[in-house]
Amino acid sequence: MKKELLLTVKSRVGLIADLSFILGSAHINIEDIHVVTIGDKAIINLKVSDDKKALEILEKNGYAPVVYEGLVVTINNAPGELAKVSKILADNKIQITRMDIIQQNQEKAVVSFDLDKMKKAKKVLEEFIV
């Protein structure tokens, strides 16, 4: 299970350059990044090679990241496959609070979920976990 960092900051030119420089200077690799700008705020979701070190470095540089764990699964990239996983979760009374399709090709899709009952979700989705 990968831990992710979520930052909500004032949007500005050079923000990603600064973040990537700070992390790169600490030898932390950005493995995945999603950025959404809403008004004057940037919401940045990071997966990094060392989440504990990244948290420390970002805090030292004035950022306030929030850490959370995402459950990463692999499914067939075909109609109805996401519905199958979602139904398993719903049938087990597990709520999806966040979901991202991280990567996909013609055959497979890798999906990250944030769920309200992570321990239970790991058990019921065991066959899909990356």
Reported as a pLDDT band with limits 50, 70 and 90, residue 8 is: confident
Fold of 2-64: VC0802-like (3.30.2130)
- 8 A C-beta contact, residue 42 and residue 34: no
The dotted CATH code for 69-128 is 3.30.2130.10
Strands across the sheet containing 30-38: 30-38, 41-48, 2-10, 66-76, 108-115, 96-104
For 82-121, write each residue's pLDDT tens digit: 999 999 999 999 999 989 887 788 889 888 898 999 999 9
d(CA 20, CA 58) in angstroms, rounded, equals 11
What is the model's pLDDT at position 2?
A: 60
Find how far residue 121's CA is from the centre of its chain: 16
For 66-79, write each residue's pLDDT tens digit: 887 778 899 999 99
Reference 99, options 107, 108, 109, 91; nearest CA is 109
Can you tell me the mean pLDDT for 20-44? 91
Q: Which residues contact 119 (CB under 8 A, 6 or more apart)?
A: none
- 8 A C-beta contact, residue 82 and residue 75: yes
Look up residue 42 and give its amino acid: A
Reference 44, options 55, 53, 33; nearest CA is 33
- Where exactly does CATH 3.30.2130.10 map onto the chain? 2-64, 69-128
